[in-house]
Structure 1
Amino acid sequence: MVGRGRVLRRHELSEAEWEFVRPLLPLWLRRRKRLDDRTVLNGIVWKFRTGVAWRDVPERYGPWATLHTRFRRWALDGTFERMLRAARAKADAAGGVDWLVSVDSTAVRAHQHAAGARKGGLRSPALGRSRGGPTSRIHLACDALGRPLAFTVTGGNTDGCTQFTAVMDAIRVPRLGLGRPRIRRGHVLGDKGYSSEAVRAWLGQRGVGHTIPDRTDRIRNRLRRGSRGGRPPAFDKQLCKQRNVVERCFNRLKQWRDIATRHDKTAESYQAAVALASLLM
């Protein structure tokens, strides 16, 4: 039991979580009575945590069409992204953001229900073909505590290093008071997939330290060229071990079954689901 006799069921928002997100929801200006936002949001969370179809969401959360309509409305108007930015700003103001940034990507299998969406005569973005079928890929940067700072969603056949700058540029933590958003990246950790001249040059131009292991072929080519091959990039093996925090972040995200397997046809809906999961992390 929580609050004033309210039963807190599994996967539902706690009182503290609800009080945080309630002011961030869009205002309903029409006079017609409708299903309250807390019930709807609990139903949305329950659906994405369990991975069921919209039609199978329990009736205690209201009509499934109402849940889906409001989710799509909030996904398109940026409500979930706004909630996530507010949560990051609150954590940063409390000194809870550790700016040792780890970056990586993970492939997500797309269910057959995710295929077939059309937008402007083209297939829905963020779906790619692979040997196992349609897939998506989440490119993500997290802090040293494993909390997502920024992410993008692309087709599963998109290489991680091609989205590196997009993910880094998306790191913008607002301040609770006046001032520009924080975009600093104290140090960046990545795997061999991000070992490219373009990535290292981008970080160097911004004065961002990085620990990225060199690929075997690059090491071999440098040795083959001798003195003309230049010096190898600095690498701290012990610091690189902390990069597993991003793997644990992905593991937590994929505990949401609708994120581990994509069922949404549109990229906007899937991105909103990732933002919602990141918020509650």
Structure 2
Amino acid sequence: MLYTGIRWEFLPQELGYGSGMTCWRRLRDWNDAGVWQRLHELLLAELRGAGLLDFSRAAVDSSHLRAMKGGPATGPLPVDRGKTGSKHHLIVEAHGIPLAAITTGGNRNDVTQLLPLIEAIPPVRGVGGQPRRRPRHLYADRGYDHETYRDRVRALQITPHIARRGAEHGSGLGVHRWVVEGAIALLHWFRRLRIRWEIRDDIHHAFVTLGCAIICWRRLRTQLC
């Protein structure tokens, strides 16, 4: 489903999955039980244990997508003539590995999700000592330019590096920000995440979390093979 975007009723019976509705219920139930989130956290711990996770800095960004059937966490898209859509907000570590993702309405301002994204980072284990949850530095584009939020980020003992509106390009922040754009491109490589077909936002976010977990698994497999 995640890779191809196929409709539930068209899932091949010969794969042994049962009916499409059975698969939908499994996705829903396992999401409610926290299975997909736990999978993501376990893979993050494996990456940290292998020395492949860098909390020295993080980057945030967002991307719009159409929501064909509406539903919770949707709104008019400012980039698509007000059509109904959603927004994926993503925070990644220094190498572009996704730490957390949030789905909101398409008209939600990026800066409003800055603190929720930081808070959504799970405690990442994998080595001895305390689990890590906070990067030392945070990079973001002009959409996050707000002094109040800079102060709130500093209160979490994170140094913000946020481009300012009206400033000329060439600040150099893009050197560290590009990794989140690459991670969003990887997330939207999954056909099910390019366009939102689910009315229920929890079902759509289950796919988002699973996508983040698969990106982590690919990075782990590539680096250790």
Counterpart-to-counterpart distance in 2, 1:143 and 1:255: 19
Match of 1:92 among 37, 40, 48: 48
CA contact (8 A) 1:142 1:150 kept: yes
Q: For the residues of structure 2 that align with 1:151 and 1:250, how far apart are their CA atoms? A: 10
1:17-96 to 2 correspondences below 5 Å: 47-61=1-15, 62=17, 63-96=19-52
1:192 and 1:207 map into 2 onto residues whose CA distance is 21
Q: 1:239 Cα shift?
A: 4.4
Corresponding position of 1:164: 114
Quote the residue 2:220 is aligned against. Answer: none
SS state at 2:29 partner: helix
Instruction: Report the Cα distance in structure 2 between the residues aligned to 1:64 and 1:174, rounded to whole angstroms.
Output: 34
Bigger Cα Rg: 1
Cα separation, 1, equivalents of 2:148 and 2:104: 20
Contact 2:72 2:199 in 1 (8 A): no
1:203-258 C-alpha deviation (Å, 9 max, x unpaired): 22233222211111xx6xxxxxxxxxxxxxxxx93343221111111111111111
Q: Which of 251, 275, 280 is the equivalent residue of 2:209?
A: 275
Residue from 60, 64, 68 that aligns with 1:103: 60
Give the TM-score normalised by the residue count of structure 2. 0.85
Q: Which amino acid aligns with 2:180?
A: V
Checking the alignment, whether the CA contact within 8 Å between 1:212 and 1:240 is kept in structure 2 is: no
8 Å CA contact 1:92–1:173 kept in 2: the answer is no
Match of 2:75 among 115, 128, 134: 128
Q: How far does the alpha carbon of each residue in 1:36-70 deviate from its partner, in whole angstroms, 9 at most, with x for none?
A: xxxxxxxxxxx121111101111223322221121
CA distance in 2, matches of 1:196, 1:85: 30
The CA distance in 2 between the partners of 1:260 and 1:188, in whole Å, is: 26
Normalising by structure 1, report the TM-score.
0.69
Q: Shift in Å at residue 178 of structure 1?
A: 7.1
| Per-residue Cα deviation, 1:118-176 (whole angstroms, up to 9, x for no partner) | xxxxxx42111233421011111011221110111111110110110000111123324
Aligned partners of 2:150, 2:127: CA distance in 1, in Å? 34
In structure 2, the partner of 1:24 is none
Which structure is higher in RCO with an 8 Å CA cutoff and minimum separation 6? 2
**Distance across 1 between alignment mates of 2:32 and 2:130:** 25
Question: What fraction of aligned residue pairs are identical, expressed as a percent?
Answer: 31
Whole-Å separation in 1 of the counterparts to 2:164 and 2:101: 24
Distance in 2 separating the partners of 1:177 and 1:244 = 28
Q: Give RMSD over aligned pairs.
A: 2.0
Distance 1:249 1:150 in 2: 11
Determine the structure 1 residue equivalent to 2:87.
137
Gaps of 5+ in 1: 1-46, 116-123, 220-235
Distance 1:191 1:271 in 2: 24
Contact kept in structure 2, 1:211 and 1:240, CA below 8 Å: no
- Runs of 5+ in structure 2 lacking a partner? 216-225
Query: How many aligned positions are there?
Result: 208
Q: Secondary structure at the match of 1:73?
A: helix
Amino acid at match of 2:7: A
Distance in 2 separating the partners of 1:239 and 1:157: 25
Please state whether the residue corresponding to 1:153 is helix, strand or coil. strand
- 1:173 partner amino acid: P
- Asked whether the equivalents of residues 173 and 182 of structure 1 are also in contact (C-alpha less than 8 Å), the reply is yes
Compute the displacement of 1:182 (Å).
1.3
